[in-house]
Chains A and B, each alone.
Chain A
C-alpha cells in the first residue's frame, strides 16, 4: 500500500468538503473493496476519510411509504431487516447471494454500489487497462473475456459491474441520495447512477469529486413475487456470470434487471411488455443489442434460461 493520512469525518457535509479539499482523498466505509485494491496499488489514495461514524446506518420509513436505507447500513443488516425481507425480497436475496458472511458484515450500501469491476486485466497491473490507466488500451478485448460484458460495452472497455445488490435496486427503481462538497443534496435515479464505459471507462458513476452518498431510497412496495437468480461457477462465494432480479405480478407483468452482462445493472423497461409472452421474447428484447465475444456468447442463452426458470417459479 502507498502511505496515506487518515481522518474520521464528523458530519456528511464535512466529509464531502474534506474530500473535495484534499487532493487524492477517498472515503472509506467497510473497506472491503478499497483496501483490496490499495494492497494491489490499483487504488492509491493519499488521504482516507472514514465515514463510519456519520450515523448513516439506519433504515427509516419515508413519507411516501418506502424506505430510506442509510449509506452505512451493512449488507447483513439490510438483508436481515424485517421490512426488506417482507416487501423487497429481491433485495434481501441479492445481498445474500453476494460475497461471504464475513464480508457482508462489513460491506456497506454505498460501498457495494461503488465497488469496482472484477475484470481480471483490471487486477493485473502488468496488463493494459483503460479503466485502471486511461489510454493504455484494453487487454480484455481479444483476451480472456468469458466473464465480461455482452451489451452496452465500448471499444475502450468490456468490463461488467460486479454488484448483486445494485441489480435488485435497479429492478426496484431505487434512488441514490448524496451531498456535494458545497453542501447541496441531490437524488439520482439508480438508472442514471452508473455509466456505460464509452471512451471514459475510468468514470463509473455520475458522482462528482467529493460527493458523498448518504442513502438509497426505495419506493413504496410494489407487491408481486420477488426473485434473484444468480448463476455462477460454484454454488456460493463467487461473482455472477449472469443474474436475474425480477418482481413478477399475478397477471404475468413485471420488472427484470440483469447482472453480469454490462457495465451497469441492465434493464430495458420497454422490453418488459414481452414478459407475459415468456422468457424467450422478453430476453430477446432485453438483450436485443448484445454483442458478445466468442467466449461469453453463452451468457445470452444463460440469461434467457435463468429468466425462464424465474417465470416458471412465479407461475408455480
Chain B
C-alpha cells in the first residue's frame, strides 16, 4: 500500500492504494468517478483519456501513485448536465456518439487537441514543421486517432470538434 494525494476536478483527494492501482482504477473504483471508461486497459483505445496538468493521457497506462500533487480533470470536471462544456454541448448537437462508451474519452481528448493546436504542437499531417498549426479536418482526424469509436461516429465527432474550434477562433 502507498499513499498519494492529487486533485481531481478541483478537489484534493488523499488515497491509500495498492501500488498496482492505475490512475483509471483509482478514479473509477476508489473515487467512483465512472465517467472515465475502461475499454482495452492497454493504451489502444483512448476510452480512459483524462487531462493531467493540462495534458491528455491514457489513465489505464499510468500508476495512481505516480500522480502525487497532480491536477486531474475528468469528463465530470469539464461540465455537468446543467452546465455543459461547449465540447459536450457540441457532441450532443452533432450526435457525436451512438452507444456513448468512447465519448468521455473523445471529449477529454478533443478539448486537449484544440489546446495542442493553439500551443503550436505539430502533428504527423502538418505539412510545414516550422509554420503554425491549423485547425483542419485532416489535422483533427490525425490528432484524434488515439480515440477509437466502435460505433463509428467519427464524422459527427469531427463536426462537433470543428464547430467548437470555429467558435473559439
A187 within 8 A of B: no
Pair A105/B55 contact, Cβ less than 8 Å: yes
Pair A36/B43 contact, Cβ less than 8 Å: yes
| Residues of A with C-beta under 8 A to B62 | 31, 35, 106
B61 within 8 A of A: yes
Pair A3/B19 contact, Cβ less than 8 Å: yes
A48, A93, A99: the one contacting B129 at CB < 8 Å is A93
Question: Given contacts A39-B41, A52-B66, is CB(A79)–CB(B58) below 8 Å?
Answer: no
Pair A85/B122 contact, Cβ less than 8 Å: yes
Interface centre among A50, A80, A92, A93 (most CB of B within 10 A): A80
Q: Chain A: which residue is nearest B50 at the CB level?
A: A102
Q: Which of B91-99, B138-146, B150-158 contacts the other chain?
A: B138-146
Pair A236/B57 contact, Cβ less than 8 Å: no
Interface centre among B20, B109, B112 (most CB of A within 10 A): B20
Pair A237/B146 contact, Cβ less than 8 Å: yes
CA A80 to CA B145, docked complex, whole Å? 18
Interface centre among B22, B49, B124, B145 (most CB of A within 10 A): B124
A4, A101, A103: the one contacting B113 at CB < 8 Å is A101
Once A and B bind, how many residue pairs between them come within 8 Å at the CB atom?
A: 99
Pair B146/A6 contact, Cβ less than 8 Å: no
Contacting B at CB under 8 A, from A173-195, are: none
B100 within 8 A of A: no
Contacting A at CB under 8 A, from B108-141, are: 109, 112-113, 116, 119-124, 126, 129-130, 141
| Residues of A with C-beta under 8 A to B126 | 96
| Residues of B with C-beta under 8 A to A96 | 122-124, 126
B19, B46, B130: the one contacting A85 at CB < 8 Å is B130
| Residues of B with C-beta under 8 A to A236 | 124, 141-142, 145
CA A92 to CA B121, docked complex, whole Å? 11
| Residues of B with C-beta under 8 A to A48 | 19, 63
Pair A237/B57 contact, Cβ less than 8 Å: no
B65, B66, B119, B146: the one contacting A101 at CB < 8 Å is B146
Pair B146/A99 contact, Cβ less than 8 Å: yes
CA A35 to CA B122, docked complex, whole Å? 27
A212 within 8 A of B: no
Question: Given contacts A28-B66, A106-B58, is CB(A76)–CB(B19) below 8 Å?
Answer: no
A100 within 8 A of B: yes
A1 within 8 A of B: yes
Question: Given contacts A32-B43, A39-B42, is CB(A101)–CB(B56) below 8 Å?
Answer: yes
A265 within 8 A of B: no
A6, A52, A103: the one contacting B43 at CB < 8 Å is A103
Pair A86/B57 contact, Cβ less than 8 Å: no
B121, B144, B145: the one contacting A76 at CB < 8 Å is B121
| Residues of B with C-beta under 8 A to A105 | 55-57
A162 within 8 A of B: no
A89 within 8 A of B: yes
Pair A31/B142 contact, Cβ less than 8 Å: no
Tell me the B residues contacting A by CB distance below 8 Å: 2, 18-20, 22, 41-43, 46, 49, 55-58, 61-63, 65-66, 109, 112-113, 116, 119-124, 126, 129-130, 141-147
4 closest Cβ pairs, A-B complex = A100-B146, A236-B145, A237-B145, A85-B129
